[in-house]
Chains A and B, each alone.
Chain A
């Protein structure tokens, strides 16, 4: 049974907050590296044919990873949104040039991922939930990008192509890879005091 306080922010323990922040910092670092790597390699190569901005779509799933990885471990309401937003904040503080866009998109991605976990009322955490969360983040981030990039001025074929590439990338990186990573970490035994580790070891999760 999930108690009433499960849904409140006060149910977060300090160790959850620290782990959430750690995940945000780690993935912010990875996102920062990936954005700049792609912007300097793949984008200029594809730019002359007009496909330059498609390059970013291939790695877009990496930007959703924290918003799927963290709730899969901590399993509390709000984790996806908060960690997603934190990842944006940390990237801004690192001095990412894409900062002002980042924060809102980070928040929106978090919301999209959160929706998928909320549909299952934070009880089911399997490959299906994780993939749905990735797709949720894809959809919300895509709607935002539509307005931001003024994509109504681009022919629909390109927009659909972008969506498909982004969705596939999200399923691969934030869906499959982040689940595998979390499962391996749980197997290594470092997440024993978090819900994912307790369920794995066969104990009932400790309810507060």
Chain B
């Protein structure tokens, strides 16, 4: 399909998503929620590669679970629900539907942004359009690019503990801690490295 969504300036798209989700926070209409969800999915279907659309459907699975649980809690604990617990009235179903469709509306708005925006492009456009200070833009780029190294560091730390014969399971804190130690050392080293390459905190190079 067409790919017009990823061509929009990331910063403007960002502002649009924030504003619309803020407005949605204070409006409580069932049909509005459904309409927002429908429009966002349609836009994703038309304006993004089909691979991204399928990804969106995959991301909606946990959202559906959450929406279902909200629906059930709306039914059981709605204000208008009749005093007897477990009896389902029209109002309580309405409550449940309202609460669960809101989750879908918010999720689709977010996915519309997330699946069509590249992180580097967003930071660059923030620096240009929103006048984000240089050190913030480059500092964030730095951290985003470090993510794969953090993962590598975690695996190294894990391996080191295993070699020493310690039991390491998925939730062990030891490898996480030693990864943190290394990551935090990088932050200073990196800033020194950036200065030595001619980076100035203020002003142009």
Contacts and interface: CB of A to CB of B under 8 A. Distances in A.
Interface in B127-148: 133, 135-136, 138-140, 142-144, 146-147
Nearest to B18: A103
Interface in B21-74: 21-22, 25-26, 28, 55, 59-60, 62-63, 65-66, 68-70, 72-74
B188 interface: yes
Contacts of B147: 25, 29
Interface stretch (A40-48, A109-117, A124-132, A164-172): A40-48
Interface in A37-85: 39-40, 43-44, 46-56
A97 B62 contact: yes
Interface in A188-204: 188, 190-191, 193
A193 B190 CA distance: 13
B65 A39 contact: yes
Contacts of A154: 73-74, 77-79, 95
Q: At the interface, is chain A mostly helix, strand, loop or mixed?
A: helix
A39 B91 CA distance: 27
B76 A185 contact: no
B25 A190 contact: no
B114 to A, nearest CB: 5
Given A15-B188, A95-B59, A149-B99, A52 B18 contact: no
A147 B183 CA distance: 38
Interface string A145-169: 0011110111101100000000000
Interface in B146-195: 146-147, 150, 177, 180-181, 183-188, 190-192, 194-195
Contacts of A53: 66, 69-70, 73
B interface, size bucket: 35 or more
B22 A104 contact: yes
A89 B139 CA distance: 14
Contacts of B144: 21, 25, 90, 93
A14 B110 contact: no
A184 B176 CA distance: 13
B114 A95 contact: yes
A193 B66 CA distance: 43
A14 B191 contact: yes
B187 A147 contact: no
A9 B133 contact: yes
Contact of A100 (B68, B76, B106, B117): B106
Interface residues of A, number: 67
A86 interface: yes
Contacts of B115: 95
A47 B144 CA distance: 36
Interface string B98-137: 1100100011011101110101001000000000010110
Nearest to A190: B184
Interface of B: 17-18, 20-22, 25-26, 28, 55, 59-60, 62-63, 65-66, 68-70, 72-81, 95, 98-99, 102, 106-107, 109-111, 113-115, 117, 119, 122, 133, 135-136, 138-140, 142-144, 146-147, 150, 177, 180-181, 183-188, 190-192, 194-195, 199, 201-202
Given A12-B135, A17-B138, A96-B110, 7 more contacts: A21-B140, A39-B66, A47-B68, A86-B140, A92-B113, A96-B114, A101-B107
Interface of A: 9-10, 12-15, 17-22, 24-26, 29, 35-36, 39-40, 43-44, 46-56, 86, 89-90, 92-104, 144, 147-150, 152-155, 157-158, 181, 184-185, 188, 190-191, 193
